[in-house]
Amino acid sequence: MNQNVTPSIFSVGIDDPNVQLFEQQYKLTRGMSYNSYAIIDRQIAVVDSVEAGHADQWLRQISKATDGRAVDYLIVQHMEPDHSACIMEAVDRWPGLKIVTTAKSAAMLAQFFPQADLSDRIQTVKEGDTLQLGDHTLRFIMAPMVHWPEVMVTYDETDKVLFSADAFGKFGAVQHPDDWVSEARRYYINIVGKYGAQVQALLRKLQEPAIRTIAPLHGPVLRENLAFYVDLYHRWSRYEPECKGILVAYSSIYGGTAEAANRLAEMLRRRNCGEIVTMDLSLTDQAEAVAQAFRLSAMVVAAPTYDAALYPPMHDFLHHLRLKNYRNRRVGMIENGSWAPIAAKLMREMLQPLQGIEIVEPVVTVRSRLNAANIDQLEALADAMASDPDTNV
């Protein structure tokens, strides 16, 4: 993946089109990239390593970019193994190499590589410290919890490149271009979504330096219209919807709850509530359903009772929304139960503690299959969902 980021900065990362899961949980349909960058100057720095199993290719690409010169610095911005797995291969390859990283990362290095004593190879940096390579001056900016506590990003003052660590990354291999927003949203909400306040703190720090290029650790290098990407990050990290609309997320065992959810979706479409998206949580990628909940301005959840508890696909969905700090939305509810419906009570208990969540009345209770009274109740719920101006972003 040797490509020029600037005339003296090369992409030397790994593009894996075949990997199927990220963090062993998020589905990948177009692979994943694990980016790394070589900055060629009187001294040479490499920004981050790559996922395990790719060390040989990574080292080959660095050698090609550096014309075989030794690397002086390995900048470790983040210790999550998708970027740190091959550090020891670099340490062994270049005996003079220094690892430039935060004190927190230095402690994690010892945890991840307990067999190695790296104390004389580590140079710790803190907020605002710089590293002079020759013409290139690198400045380090701390970004705790974007997405682990030890994260920093690196700003090249010379070429005005921001090495943004996980920020501005996405799912998908670079060789498979796709809709950036869709896979960056799914990545952001599910990987970093919990840490909106910390992302806001980083965005405030990034207002000052002039940035021409963003070089993330996943996905393509961003060179044009950077304000578009930064604006999206502002919106996502403030938990603001991207557009007016309602996600109708349902799970259904024998179709009764699905019928109720789809009838409600038709009623909402007739009421001009913006984009109406229905998702069957048993069939949909969970991470995409979570991302859609954040994208839209309101949500309706519909689920049956199961084993005197909430049907597991809906329980998993709401659990993930809680993990990612879902907030500031109006939520309608439909429950189903043939003998003792308690799904709505349980969904309310999961959602109500979240900041800024308003449960919209009436909650509709279906007994097995829709009846005439249910249709009236769904119409009333549709009216209530449509009536609030906040639903209409």
Interface residues toward ligand FEO, by CB under 6 A: 78, 80, 82-83, 147-148, 166, 217-218
Q: Please tell me the distance from the alpha carbon of residue 145 to that of residue 59, in angstroms, as a whole number.
A: 29
User: Toward ligand FEO, which CB reaches closer, 112 or 148?
Assistant: 148
Length of the chain: 393
The residue nearest ligand FEO at its CB is: 80
> Cβ 216 to ligand FEO, closest distance in Å?
9
- Our CB check for ligand FEO shows the closer of 50 and 321 to be 50
Decide whether 168 or 317 has the Cβ nearer to ligand FEO. 168
Least separation, in Å, of the C-beta of 16 and ligand FEO?
Answer: 13
Minimum Å gap between C-beta 85 and ligand FEO is 11
CB of 296 vs ligand FEO, minimal distance in Å: 26
Query: With respect to ligand FEO, which residue has the nearer C-beta, 78 or 315?
Result: 78
State the minimum distance, in angstroms, from the CB of residue 146 to ligand FEO.
9
Shortest spacing between CB 51 and ligand FEO, in angstroms: 9
CB 347 within 8 A of CB 303: yes
Shorter beta-carbon distance to ligand FEO: residue 77 or 391: 77
Least distance to ligand FEO from the beta carbon of 217, Å?
A: 5
Distance (Å, whole) CA 277 – CA 259: 15
Query: How many angstroms separate the CA atoms of 317 and 322, rounded?
Result: 9
Torsion angle defined by CA atoms of residues 57, 102, 200 and 349, in that order, rounded to the nearest 10 degrees: 90
Distance CA(108)–CA(241), nearest Å, equals 36
Q: Which of 147/315 has CB closer to ligand FEO?
A: 147
Longest Cα separation, the chain: 78
The C-alpha atoms of residue 65 and residue 60 are separated, in whole angstroms, by 9
Q: Residue 72 or 80: which CB sits closer to ligand FEO?
A: 80
Q: What does the block give as tokens for 331?
A: 């939520």
Q: Where are the alpha helices (DSSP H) in the chain?
A: 55-66, 81-84, 87-93, 103-112, 180-187, 196-205, 226-237, 256-270, 286-295, 312-323, 343-351, 372-387
Cα–Cα distance, 169 to 189 (Å, whole number)? 11
Report the residue number, 84 or 297, with the smaller CB distance to ligand FEO. Answer: 84
Q: Smaller CB distance to ligand FEO: residue 32 or 230?
A: 32
Cα–Cα distance for residue pair 363/302, rounded to 1 Å: 10
CA atoms within 13 A on the CB side of 119: 1
Q: Least separation, in Å, of the C-beta of 93 and ligand FEO?
A: 23
Least distance CB 297 / ligand FEO (angstroms) = 29
| C-beta neighbour count of 155 within 10 angstroms | 23
Contact at 8 Å (CB) between 144 and 134?
no
